[in-house]
Structure 1
Amino acid sequence: MKKVAFLVADGFEDSEMQNPYEAMTKAGHEAVIISLERDAELKGKKGTVTYTSHLSASQAKASDYAAVIIPGGSSPEKLRGDTAIQNFVKEADRAGTPISAICHGPQVLASAGLLRDRTLTGYSGIQDEIRQAGGSFVDQEVVVDRNLVTSRSPKDEPAFIEETLNKIGVNAY
């Protein structure tokens, strides 16, 4: 069993959190919710699911995790400016840890300065932001560039989850 970090704030896209979370636990991994504060109640933007954070980003160490998942919705916008969140994803990236971001999730990576010379996808509305951060945007169901796995929207979740699980299997401890 490996630990998988979910970086989440209030207003996440419900299915983009719920489906990967359930897939990781079903595969036998421990899902740990990391947010701006420990024990925060986090509600999906559609109101279908609620989670409670296990740790604040300042308490978490990226080296403890086999993968990082960043659901979309308005959650990434709330996370992206937090220094501890940025340091967490930078540490994960330096270590080559798989980082999977869907929809608006790449905004966190852009704010952390991790998109230069990387190819990725995401919600179409952030493609200019991805390019401004030095990345190349492509409109595909799922894009894998080294340790980054990105997808566009809830309809891409099956491919997103499959590639994330594949990366976790490759990144065995």
Structure 2
Amino acid sequence: MAKVAFLVANDFEDSEMKNPYEEITKAGHEAVVIGLEKGIQYKGKKGTVAYISELTVGDADANEYDAVVIPGGSAPEDLRVNDEVVKFVKEMHNNSAVIAGICHGPQVMISADILKGHVVTSYRGIRDDVINGGATFIDKEVVVSNNIITSRTPKDEPAFIREILAKLNS
């Protein structure tokens, strides 16, 4: 089974963390919550869920993971300015691991400079950022471009989760 990193900071979009996390673990994969600090409780922006980080991103070894999931909300803005987060995502991409981001999640991919030549989707508000990061943007519920999986909003979660599980199970 696969080992999946979930990158979190406060104010992630609740369902964009909760639903993929639950479905990935239900499918038998190992999910590891990784934050900027270890042992900190990170809360969703709607306050319906919270997760305690098991590791700091600086202590996480990209070689040990098959995928990383980046939920949206306000958290990606905090994550993308952290050099360890950027390094981790870049290393995961260099290892051809699955990089999955929904809503504002692709902001971290932009900062890791991994979107050039890929086709992606995202929350409409960061469309220009994605394009300026070198990607081709399309407005679709889910887009798979090699190892990168992107979706727009919570309503697209079923398709987002389906494509993550398809990659993990292939």
Q: What's the TM-score, normalizing by structure 2?
A: 0.98
- Give matches, 1:9-48, under 5 Å: 9-48=9-48
What secondary structure sits across from 1:34 in the alignment?
strand
What secondary structure sits across from 2:169 in the alignment?
helix
Deviation at 1:41, TM superposition (A): 0.8
| Residue of structure 2 in register with 1:104 after alignment | 104
| Residue of structure 2 in register with 1:143 after alignment | 143
2-side partners of 1:124 and 1:106: how far apart? 11
1-side partners of 2:119 and 2:167: how far apart? 17
2-side partners of 1:153 and 1:98: how far apart? 19
2-side partners of 1:40 and 1:114: how far apart? 28
| Residue of structure 2 in register with 1:86 after alignment | 86
1-side partners of 2:74 and 2:82: how far apart? 14
| Runs of 4+ residues deviating >3 angstroms | none
Structure 2 letter corresponding to 1:164: I
- Give matches, 1:52-67, under 5 Å: 52-67=52-67
1-side partners of 2:93 and 2:32: how far apart? 18
Aligned length: 170
Q: What's the TM-score, normalizing by structure 1?
A: 0.97
Give CA-to-partner distance per residue, 1:125-168, whole Å, 9 cap, x none. 00000011111111000000000000000000000000000111
> Identity of paired residues, percent?
56
Unaligned runs of 5+ in 1: none
Deviation at 1:2, TM superposition (A): 2.1
2-side partners of 1:137 and 1:114: how far apart? 14
2-side partners of 1:141 and 1:21: how far apart? 19
1-side partners of 2:79 and 2:52: how far apart? 16
2-side partners of 1:95 and 1:111: how far apart? 17
Q: Aligned-pair RMSD on alpha carbons? A: 0.6
| Residue of structure 1 in register with 2:120 after alignment | 120
Unaligned runs of 5+ in 2: none
